[in-house]
Structure 1
Amino acid sequence: MANSSHKRDTNARPTPFLSRRNAIKIAAPIAAFATVAAVSVGVATSSPELKDVVANDQSFTASIDHGIPETTPQRKKPVSRSSSRRPKVEVKLDGATYAARAEAAQTRKAVAGADDKQWALEDLNLWDGPTEKAKNVGLLKKGKAVVATGRERNGRAEIVVEDESRWVTAEFLADKKPVAKKKTATDDAEAASGTGGSCTNGSSVPSGVAPGVVKVHQAVCARFPEISTYGTFRGDGEHSEGRAVDIMISGDAGWQVAEYVRANASALGVEYAIYSQKIWSVDRGGEGWRSMEDRGSATANHFDHVHVTVY
């Protein structure tokens, strides 16, 4: 009897487990696929800006394809080409600067709109401004036509000379061209006589006065013998120095004396003369007779005498 033996069935060999290295090789593509899918879904639902970042950033895509995590690079904020790149500078003007610019603007406007034709009645000094601190920048000849702006300040009128603002004594501008006066025989005789002549009315000036005072007395006395009173030494100003004389005369006759002194100032050594609240001086001779402030009385304002100061 054959031995009945049970053939032992060989158990099936179990499938070996995957090695760690093989597992990583399989898992990496799966993770990458899952990541791409997740990113795609996020991009699809995100803003257009994010879509552009992902689409254009190759390093980000490469990191996904190779399963190597990388930090998404930050894109710089775009700079608008229309905006100015220069820093804003705030300029603050002080009161004096602002006033100067405003005055300059008014002057340009006045010069541009000047249309009032005027004529100079005398040789007039040209000033670069209407104040006492203005500079003398030239001379306007008598009879010269100019265009005035219509602005007046401190007794001066603004005119336009070679497209520039200039100021002259206002009272010596006229709307009509002055008519030249013809010389007469009398005028020639007076001009020829100059400052010579003798004083015959018995008046005199004291010794010790300046030589110019002596000349003024002699010349005026020779031509205006009706004047017999002359004031010299006094306790104030040039009178105390013997450099001044008061010729006691008034009215139109006073103007004749004052104009004679002015016309012969150089020969007589005159520095300045005052009459009827007006002054004429050598250093500002081109301005003619200038108005003075009110001093309160006829004598103080020189209505009853011609004051002459010599060098």
Structure 2
Amino acid sequence: MVGIGVALSGGGGPSVDVTRYAAAGDLSAATGAQASATPTERVIEASRDRDRLAVAQLIDPKVSGRMWTTVDLDLRATPTQDADVLGEVKAITRVGVTGERTGGYAQVVVRQDGQRTLAWVTQDYLADQKPTDPAKLPLSDQPCPDTSVEHGLTDAAVRLYRAVCHAFPQVTRYGGWDNHGEHSSGKALDIMTSDVALGNQIAAFLQAHASELDIFDVIWRQHIWTSERAGDGWRSMPNRGSATANHMDHVHSSVY
């Protein structure tokens, strides 16, 4: 048996395989089927166009403003700490914001691989003004004005303290060695500030210089970043019951 195909002239619609009609000896039915397929196809295409427009409106929301990221941030599919991570946006990146905020997260629009992505980020790490690039702040190993902070610290922790105190002279209070947690090892430092923007800059500075300063972890505002899992970005921590325990009033960092 030979299959017969019929295509409309002008290329306005799809070709129709009429083998099943030819087998029944009814080519007129095949031609009629071809003709009737054209308006149906047009209706379907029109419906698809409307669907595409609706989807575009959903995934292309109006940007109400632009803000700067102060640290590397995970892009989350929904405003929850357990949401799927769609990617990462680097520190000192200007992103579009929609104005939607919920549960400590802000909705942003970023460009990834040439495509606009709608996602959620931790709102505390967005700033109106472009922050100083933490990687460009110099590292100093000179003694700080308050040498008492160095008591009981390891050599690496002393270098950490000196680097921070010279990069951020506005910070005047530190927590060094004491008999609890990581601090009892002499490897940890608390950098006391409740200023979110300043704390973000300090945290970003520590991330940028993690290799030079031999940093193990950074904890700030109930989030933790570790050099061993740097690719995971900032990870949420459980509520420990107080502002200090949740690191809302200081940036904590420790060295190897």
Bigger Rg over Cα: 1
Which gives a bigger RCO, structure 1 or 2 (Cα 8 Å, sep 6+)? 2
More strand by share: 2
TM-score by length of 2: 0.50
TM-score by length of 1: 0.43
